[in-house]
């Protein structure tokens, strides 16, 4: 459904703003500091307004992706003018603030790092579990992560309104930052001989979960302080990433109460 509101062309689903289109509308949204996940711009399209969008996006460190016109036309049949912005359903949190808040409260941080988890429903399910388990935040990269839209909010059962989500430039730099702040990083991966039940998951901790396709990226695996696996007894080789996240997060919670 299209709705006009203070110059914005907004497509709405379930009451959430999923995307806006048109150069002027997107420039207004950037200037108004609205949370934008990413901006799609038609390849080989150059005009003054498109350049203005790019300059404004760069000033706010918003991801810009060049795509074919067909990609934009699949998103909306309206006159998008060669540019579409995906809006975030949440306000992102500062990782610095999350960590400081934990330490000031005398709490060991429990964080989740999601490496290229792009399925919206998996993402929402992980957020729901993490919030219920008392995790302090979820960390995602600027590129290669699920769009936080109305489907994600719905799948999280509203947990996205309560659990801080921290979006960072690169996960590798973030892992180093966490380690320098006394937070161990644990990679949950089948590429380990150590069962999670025999690993120490207490203390300040960040658990890394990888993509459905190929797991955790090699650079993050090599940087992690510890690699653990979830023991599997059946014939199927792996668990869904949202289920895996639930299993290991609650093991970390269990160890904190032993």
Quick: pLDDT tens for 168-220: 999 999 999 999 999 999 999 998 889 999 999 999 999 999 998 889 999 99
Q: What is the CATH number of the domain that holds 26?
A: 3.30.1330.30
Give the distance, in angstroms, between the CA of residue 83 and the centroid of all CA atoms in the same chain. Answer: 23
Q: What is the mean pLDDT of the chain?
A: 89
Return the percentage of the chain with pLDDT > 70, whole number: 93
Tokens standing for residue 255: 């160890």
Domain check: are 225 and 153 in the same one? yes
- What domain count does the chain have? 2
For the segment 38-97, what is each residue's pLDDT rounded down to a tens digit?
A: 899 999 898 999 999 999 999 988 889 999 999 999 998 899 999 999 988 888 999 999
- Residue 137, pLDDT score: 97
Domain that includes residue 230, residue range: 95-257
The domain boundary, picked from 67, 87, 107, lies at 87
- Residue 13, pLDDT score: 43
The domain boundary, picked from 44, 66, 87, lies at 87
The residues near 232 (Cβ < 8 Å, ≥ 6 apart) are 238, 239
Domain check: are 105 and 200 in the same one? yes
Distance (Å) of CA 121 to CA 44, 149, 258 = 33, 10, 32
Domain check: are 67 and 144 in the same one? no
What 8-state DSSP symbol labels residue 60?
T
Confidence band, pLDDT 50/70/90 cuts, at residue 113:
very high
Domain check: are 145 and 234 in the same one? yes
pTM, 2 dp:
0.81
Domain check: are 126 and 167 in the same one? yes
The domain boundary, picked from 31, 62, 87, lies at 87
Domain check: are 149 and 67 in the same one? no
Domain check: are 101 and 56 in the same one? no
Domain check: are 77 and 202 in the same one? no
Domain check: are 52 and 147 in the same one? no
| Bigger pLDDT: 79 vs 150 | 79
- Residue 15, pLDDT score: 39
- Residue 37, pLDDT score: 86
Domain check: are 201 and 239 in the same one? yes
Tokens standing for residue 187: 């990679």
Question: What gap in Å lies between CA 149 and CA 140, rounded to an integer?
Answer: 15
Domain check: are 106 and 148 in the same one? yes
Domain check: are 221 and 152 in the same one? yes
């Amino acid at each position: 459904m299209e709705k006009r509101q203070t110059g914005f062309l907004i497509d709405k689903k379930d009451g959430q703003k999923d995307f806006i289109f048109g150069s002027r509308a997107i420039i207004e949204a950037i200037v108004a500091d609205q949370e934008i996940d990413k901006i799609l711009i038609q390849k080989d399209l150059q005009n003054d307004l498109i350049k203005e969008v790019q300059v404004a996006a760069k000033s706010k460190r918003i991801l810009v992706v060049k795509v074919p016109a067909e990609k934009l036309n699949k998103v909306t049949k309206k006159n998008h003018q060669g540019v579409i912005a995906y809006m975030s359903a949440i306000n992102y949190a500062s990782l610095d603030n999350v960590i400081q808040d934990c330490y000031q409260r005398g709490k060991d941080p429990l964080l989740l790092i999601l490496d290229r988890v792009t399925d919206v429903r998996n993402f929402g399910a992980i957020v729901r579990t993490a919030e219920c388990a008392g995790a302090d935040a979820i960390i995602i990269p600027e590129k290669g992560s699920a769009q936080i839209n109305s489907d994600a909010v719905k799948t999280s059962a509203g947990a996205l309104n309560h659990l801080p989500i921290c979006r960072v430039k690169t996960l590798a730099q973030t892992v180093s930052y966490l380690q320098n702040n006394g937070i161990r990083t644990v990679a949950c991966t089948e590429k380990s001989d150590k069962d999670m039940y025999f690993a120490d998951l207490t203390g300040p901790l960040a658990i890394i979960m990888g993509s459905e396709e190929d797991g955790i990226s090699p650079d993050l695996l090599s940087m992690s302080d510890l690699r653990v696996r979830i023991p599997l007894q059946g014939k199927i080789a792996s668990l869904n990433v949202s289920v895996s996240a639930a299993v290991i997060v609650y093991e970390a919670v269990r160890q904190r109460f032993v």
